[in-house]
Amino acid sequence: MKKFFSVCLAFALMLSVGLVASGNGVLAKEQAKPGIGTQAIDVTGVWRGNDGGLYYIRQVGNTVWWTGLSNNGVGTNWTNVFKGQLTGDKAAGTWADVPRGAVMSHGNLSFTVYYTATGMQLKRTAVSGGFGGSIWYR
């Protein structure tokens, strides 16, 4: 009983200082969410847009690059590229369609990074040039 109490007390202390078990069983310091703490945002990954596109996003430092392709990655209707700067949880930059797709537009685009119960989302906050997507999910 004394050992059980000691283990429970140790676990409670770890929780109180923000230590949690990660997926691989290793204890790690819990990260604070952006806007609340100092955790760095990393948007690198494959994202799906509400425009039916597939976006390959790469973040290098505060610079965000992407290639977006229509039809879940086929890209024959439109294919675009984006380059912008991420400051905190907000990004702003320029985008342009490239000749893989039929559409040839360009403009500016801004988005904000959000955390939801299902994961990280990007939500468009401003756009020019007729860009279609407004929400991206990873």
* 40 confidence band (pLDDT: 50, 70, 90): confident
- Of 61, 60, 47, whose CA–CA distance to 121 is shortest? 47
pTM equals 0.72
* 9 pLDDT more than 70: no
pLDDT recorded at residue 19? 39
Indicate the domain borders of the chain: 1-29, 45-137
> What CATH number does domain 45-137 carry, 1.10.10, 2.40.128, 1.10.150, 2.30.110?
2.40.128
Residue pLDDT, tens place only, 50-106: 999 999 999 999 999 999 999 999 999 999 999 999 999 999 999 999 999 999 999
* 30 confidence band (pLDDT: 50, 70, 90): very low
Pairing of the two strands 119-127 and 135-137? antiparallel
pLDDT recorded at residue 1? 53
Tell me the C-alpha to C-alpha distance, in Å, between residue 108 and each of 77, 96, 100: 20, 9, 20
If you average pLDDT over residues 39-51, what whole number do you get? 94
